[in-house]
Structure 1
Amino acid sequence: MGLWDKISGEFVDVIEYLDDTNNTLAHRFERYQNEIKNGAKLTVRESQLAIFVSEGQFADVFNPGMYELTTQNLPLLTTLKSWKYGFNSPFKAEVYFINTRVFDNLKWGTPQPLPMRDADFGVIQMRAHGGYHFRVNDAKKLITEAAGTDGHFTIDEIEKRLRDYIQTGFPDAIGESKIPLLDMIMNYNELSEGVKKVLTPKFEKNGLSLIEFTIGAITVPDAVQKAIDERSSMGVLGNMAQYQQYKSAQAMEKAAENPNGGAGSGIGMGMGFGMASQMMNQQQFQQQPQQHLVRPLAEAQQQQSGPPPIPSAAHFHAVINGQQAGPFSFDALKQLITNNQFSKETLVWKQGMDNWIKAGDVLDLQTVFGSVPPPLPPQ
């Protein structure tokens, strides 16, 4: 440092720090040889604290305000310096300004999928992201545990450490919550509070207070998401056995709609309807009062081994005069054929079909056309 810096440092008696970065946690006031004179003016602005450090030991802490430094407002430093006969000027001490405002809109996310055990889907991979807010609540811990001798300590220098805390704390909190995957989206607040509870001691160890922790989204692989969507289409959220029955019924219905399936197609359709009906009966059974659920095992097995219910007749929608109409039973379709309102070229659709197709291409309708006599010949 040059002669002019030394001279100007000796005459400057204002100690303050203006932060225009918005990411500074701690800043050490730079002064020539850390010398402070008797009567120097200390300015601590809102959202700041000032800490005096003498030879590695913490001394006096100043809250927001303007101060004239004397032995009266530096009692700890006076004791450390052993000023028995008053203020020695100049004296050497470090002054740290601590930013106490809330630092918000900080982001977190899981860099890798996290394996989680779910009661419905077994072991799944999930990702999550969100935000968190914190502030300094213990300036001395911040300096000793995080900033150290760094003269300008910023969020960037501690953010990795905080994210590491989140990477380990988030899975622990999710596991302890025991909330099923399908219910997590409705319990983001509860999950966020659980993660915050796990992370708070780790933040406080660095002199920080975790003000808020939020979960923005929890995502799963496409295969799991597809299973969730298909399961939602059932209209109820049952157990995995019901889900498997639902998928089996769907497959059987599609097989029954295959024109090349022959007689076996009709059997497949009957089994599909029977399986779906059995699934619904099982769900109604689960919803009965608890006293009706306790039954002898032999009786339950005997009921489950019985034949499925007789499938109901199929009903078709049809395009009549350019408008969708129906559904029509087989008898109603025969009447339409007799009235020349329905033919093999008419587009039809029923539940389970992907698209509208011509009636003449539907195997189930062949008997309808064959059972209606042709029109009478002209007289």
Structure 2
Amino acid sequence: MGFFKNQFSNVVEWEEFRDDMIFWKWNNREIKKGSKLVIRSGQDAVFINNGKIEGIFEQEGVYNVDSDIIPFLSTLKGFKFGFNSGMRVEVLFVNTKEFTVRWGTQSPILIPTPQLPGGMPIRANGTFNFKVNDYVTLIDKIAGIKESYLVDDVKVRITSVLNQLLMKWISKEGKDMFNLQANADAIAAGIREDLDMQIMGDGLTVTGFQVMSFNYPAEIQEMITKNASYQMIGDLQKYQQVSMTDGIASGKVAGGGAASDMAGMMMGMNMANEMLKNMNGGRGQGQGQGPAAGPNSGGPSAGAGAGQPSAQQPPAAPAPSSAPGNVTRPNFCPNCGAKNEGANFCPNCGQKLV
């Protein structure tokens, strides 16, 4: 025991821990008698000798190499002979947590669609999750040649194939190209399976893939919004009237231009037509009630009692004539100046002319 009394006691621990680091390798140093192994929460320690895994320690805590570690590393040369000299062994510290990474398309993806011969340009963004699940494969493919491995390294690997996978699964599951969000879950599930196959060979697994939003070009989004408005209102003619009124009220259709004149004329004609319909409806109701009081409907003589004088109702006053000879109408509207062709209301602004 005197041989080890003055020797330095190494501490084997993850010295450069970072949240975005997947693994870090402790190497090029000797593990001596009295050394300690420190494993923190969310870490595993993998002892490697000549590329072969000699032991995996998963529980957090502080371990004494001579009493806690050696029994699990008895196959190592030097350890089984009483550990009389230092031993160079690599220790791979692995971050066991699940990593969450944001992704987004760098440029629009042109999705083939019959509506647009050149394809629908779409951007998308979301998140994906992954973790380490196979230490043997991880050491064989990555840790054997790298001292550390970062989340950004995996992100580069995944985003390099993401555009092709988005195109594949949008074309397959995007039943409504103008409402891809409705099928986002099915699209994401397909992409997750393909991405898992991509990184499975590195000892990693994709545990989740989410699409937060699909983004269309501004002109396409405007068309989608207008289409939704048409469906909400239901009546295209009513939508045009509302849009025209809103445009005039907001000042977007103003001034003496052709658009303003056209909007004003159409709105005036629509108002005049509605007023004429209302007047004609009122007259029809009044005329329909007249005959009920006439003599042919069993008038007062039929309902009068004996000895009572029969009372005859006075004739109803004739409705005002709309003949041009009876009423004088101005040739031009006093409100807007539009020419009048003998109508009771101005066809442009709806002004009453009689």
TM-score with structure 2 length normalisation?
A: 0.62
Cα shift at 1:62: 1.0
Aligned counterpart, 1:190: 186
> Equivalents in 2 of 1:44, 1:227: separation in Å?
58
Q: Distance in 2 between matches of 1:345 and 1:189?
A: 64
Deviation string, structure 1 residues 195-247 (Cα, Å, up to 9, x no partner): 212212223222222232221221122332233233223318xxxxxxxxx89
Aligned counterparts of 2:8 and 2:108: Cα–Cα separation in 1: 59
Amino acid at match of 2:20: N
Q: Which amino acid aligns with 1:316?
A: M
The answer to whether the 8 A contact 2:48-2:91 is kept is: yes
Counterpart residue type for residue 50 of structure 1 = A
State the Cα distance separating 1:75 from its structure 2 match.
Answer: 6.4
Instruction: Tell me whether 1:57 sits opposite 2:45 in the alignment.
Output: no
Partner of residue 208, structure 1: 204
Question: 2:275 corresponds to which letter in structure 1?
Answer: F
Pick closer, same or farther for the CA change 1:121–1:231 going to 2, 3 Å: farther
Q: Answer with 223-232 or 107-116: which moved more.
A: 223-232
Task: Measure, in 1, the Cα distance between the counterparts of 2:229 and 2:217.
Answer: 19
Cα gap change, 1:23 to 1:72, in 2 (>3 Å):
closer
Q: 1:45 aligns with which of 40, 44, 64?
A: 40
CA deviations 1:232-267 (Å, max 9, x no partner) are 23318xxxxxxxxx89xx8xxx9xxxx99xxxx9xx
**Counterpart for residue 308 of structure 1:** none
Q: Kindly tell me: are residues 374 and 87 of structure 1, through their superposed partners in 2, closer, same or farther at Cα, counting changes over 3 Å?
A: closer
The 3 A distance-change label for structure 1 pair 193 and 63 is: same
Q: What's the C-alpha RMSD, in Å, of the aligned pairs?
A: 4.4
Q: Contact conserved, 1:102 with 1:133, CA < 8 A, in 2? A: yes
Tell me how far apart the structure 2 counterparts of residues 136 and 365 of structure 1 sit (CA, whole Å). 85
Q: Provide the residue aligned with 1:316 in structure 2.
A: 271
* 1:104-253 pair list within 5 angstroms: 104=100, 106-118=101-113, 123-235=119-231
Q: Is the 8 A contact 1:174 1:195 kept in 2?
A: no
From 19, 26, 29, the equivalent of 1:29 is 26
Closer/same/farther in 2, CA of residues 370 and 141 from structure 1, 3 Å limit: closer
Q: Is the 8 A contact 2:109 2:163 kept in 1?
A: no
C-alpha distance in structure 1 between counterparts of 2:209 and 2:342, whole Å? 64
CA distance in 2, matches of 1:367, 1:374: 8
Q: CA deviation at 1:171?
A: 1.9
Question: How many angstroms apart in 2 are the aligned matches of 1:29 and 1:366?
Answer: 100
CA separation in 2, counterparts of 1:365 and 1:135?
82
Alpha-carbon deviation of 1:147? 4.1
For residues 319-376 of structure 1, give each alpha carbon's deviation from its aligned partner in whole angstroms, at most 9, with x where no partner exists.
xxxxxxx95335639x9x99x9xx9466xxxxxxxxxxx5x55x9997454899976x
Instruction: Give the distance between the partners of 1:197 and 1:365, measured in 2 at CA.
Output: 74
Structure 1 contact 173–198 (Cα < 8 Å) conserved: no
Match of residue 242 from structure 1: none
The alpha carbon displacement at 1:111 in A equals: 1.5
8 A contact 1:330–1:368 mirrored in 2: no
Q: Which runs of 5+ in 1 are unaligned?
A: 1-6, 237-245, 270-313, 318-325, 347-357
The letter of the residue matching 1:329 is L
Inter-CA distance 50–365: structure 2 relative to 1 (3 Å threshold): farther
Matched, 1:91 2:91: no
Shift of residue 316 of structure 1? 1.7
| AA aligned opposite 2:197 | P
SS at match of 2:146: coil
Aligned match of 1:240:
none
Number of the residue aligned with 1:16? 13
| Residue 368 to residue 212, structure 1, CA distance change in 2 (3 Å) | farther
Could you tell me which amino acid in structure 2 is paired with residue 36 of structure 1? Answer: I
State the TM-score, normalizing by the size of structure 1: 0.58
How far does residue 63 in structure 1 lie from its aligned partner after superposition? Answer: 0.4
Per the TM alignment, residue 25 of structure 1 is displaced from its structure 2 partner at its CA by 1.3
Distance in 1 between the 2:74 and 2:342 partners?
A: 106
Deviation, 1:84, is: 5.1
Name the stretch that deviates more: 179-188 or 41-50.
179-188
Answer yes or no: is 1:100 the counterpart of 2:96: yes
Tell me by how many angstroms 1:79 deviates.
Answer: 2.5
Helix, strand or coil for the counterpart of 2:178?
helix
Moved more, 13-22 or 188-197: 13-22
- Checking the alignment, whether the CA contact within 8 Å between 2:22 and 2:149 is kept in structure 1 is yes
In 1, Cα distance between equivalents of 2:212 and 2:340: 51
Percent of matched pairs sharing the same residue: 24
8 Å Cα contact 1:185-1:218 kept in structure 2: yes
